[in-house]
Chains A and B, each alone.
Chain A
Amino acid sequence: MISAEVVVELDGREVYRGESKSFVRNFGRILYAILNGTGGVAIRYTGSVSSASVQKPDGYTATVHGEYYVTAAYSRASGGTAMGFKAGAGEDAWGILVGSGSDPVSPTQYNLSTKIPHGTDPGKLYYDVHSVSSSYSDTSSYVEIARSFINRSSSPVTVREVGLFARNRYQYDAGIEVDVIFMVARDVLPNPVTVNPLGSLLVRYRVVLTT
């Protein structure tokens, strides 16, 4: 059995732990595109073997690929990923994102209600790197992705929603053929969490597998 939870820590203290209830439609679509791959294509095969249509954060639709081979001639250093999450410090477009909106979750959502952008100005949070951890056994295992957010402004910032965004990207040394960011999960916190100046917030998405 699989379960998922969201954990929020404020200044090192856990302030929320609850089931993540909110994969959205985009996740179902990329999962289908990955499973629908075949593998084993000819070595000169190019293009998509399996794809899906997702909704980007701006509301427009885009095609993502579960199995893809770069098409450009002389495409050195070519490849990519169907679903990358580990955005670096300061990158606030994918990975774990936080927002101030509280609109109820719906499966067709494609963005946070009101994203809190990266930065050090009032109303912004500093987006740190991600960390990934895991534990495996015969009867209970988990994998977790976490990200810290620091308030480097002079005003409190209130967080009410968290989201998980993926990046589908395929490139070669001279160009990018596919680059689509899309939300796969969103959770609204039951109570707002206020991050004071110099305070820090840690958000963890944990997926648990049990027998």
Chain B
Amino acid sequence: MSQPLNPMRGFIEIEVRDREGRVIQRGRHEMRSFTNNFLKILEAFFNAYGNYSLGYIATPASKATITAPDGTSKDAWTEAYSDTTYYYGGGVAMATRAGDNVDTYGIVVGSGTAPFNLNNFALATKIAHGTGAGQLDYDAMSLDDLGLDTSVSPPVYRIRLMRGFKNLTSSSITINEVGIIARNYWKSEKGALNDVTFLIARDVLPTSYTVPAGGSATVVVVIEVTMG
């Protein structure tokens, strides 16, 4: 029997450099661990309609109940129409392009090694942004649409997410887990109507990566969607 086709998979690439910028550790691992939160957002997209009459109001019109990183249940929206008083409504269901110094979404790293299960909603032990002991300085996320690659069989569509982490402390810091946290944000002129974050993928790395004092790590996640 042939291997089941994996319509969406990913790879995690990590490169660690010392304070002089020399590469001291590098690895590539298959990413296997999308969470139930990810599937719930997909379900909420399946439930989105996209053809309401003008003037329709619903905050939200379609939603998923996800588990936020603090363990509480919250709603993430995939379709919404704001009220009649405030303007400029809209939003995003699953954003990952976090800015510099933001550790609440985008690629996040941790030191925990607890095994993965689909209900994971947070890293086991997230390494927070900062310059204090045990912290890493989080750079801004970057995303690249690498597009369709027909040179492989079956063809794949690749999306690359990347983030740098600097160790500005005086001690080494070890990375054992990598996650992707998404942000669900909807607003109108009234203000934020919904703003929640949720873990959509987590992988415990088969190898520990140690970032020395003054060093840095770059984490790249390449998501591959297999095409027909």
Contact = CB atoms under 8 A, between A and B. Distances in A.
Interface stretch (B20-28, B125-133, B168-176, B189-197): B189-197
B199 to A, nearest CB: 13
B67 to A, nearest CB: 10
Nearest to A66: B92
Interface stretch (A7-15, A43-51, A119-127, A192-200): A43-51
Nearest to B194: A39
Most buried by B among A34, A66, A91: A34
A107 B90 contact: no
Interface in A1-23: 1-4, 19-23
B80 interface: yes
Contacts of B143: 32, 35-36
A19 B78 CA distance: 26
Interface in A127-147: 130, 132, 134, 136-143, 145
Given A21-B226, A32-B145, A45-B88, A78 B51 contact: no
Contacts, number: 291
Given A38-B95, A43-B187, A84-B45, A77 B228 contact: no
Nearest to B186: A79
B227 to A, nearest CB: 3
B9 to A, nearest CB: 7
A67 B89 CA distance: 11
Contact-size category for B: 35 or more
Contacts of A80: 50, 79, 81, 90
B92 A1 contact: no
A155 interface: no
Interface string B79-117: 111111111111111111111000001000000000011
Contacts of A45: 88, 187
B87 A75 contact: yes
Contact of B78 (A38, A43, A82): A82
Contacts of A202: none
Nearest to A75: B87
Interface in A65-84: 66-84
B85 to A, nearest CB: 7
Given A43-B191, A91-B51, A170-B90, A209 B36 contact: yes
Contact of B6 (A1, A70, A91, A168): A1
Interface in B198-215: none
B78 A81 contact: yes
B11 interface: no
B151 interface: no
Nearest to A22: B228
B8 A2 contact: yes
B32 interface: yes
B155 interface: yes
A201 to B, nearest CB: 19
Contacts of B9: 1-2
B40 A28 contact: no
Given A32-B143, A49-B92, A167-B50, A39 B161 contact: no
B90 A69 contact: yes
A191 interface: no
B96 A136 contact: no
Contact of B159 (A31, A50, A107, A169): A31
Contact of A21 (B45, B82, B154): B154
Contacts of A41: 185, 187
Given A77-B55, A85-B45, A87-B51, 4 more contacts: A32-B145, A85-B47, A86-B46, A136-B39
Interface of A: 1-4, 19-25, 27-29, 31-32, 34-41, 43-46, 49-50, 52, 66-88, 91, 94, 105-108, 130, 132, 134, 136-143, 145, 166-176, 186-187, 207, 209-211
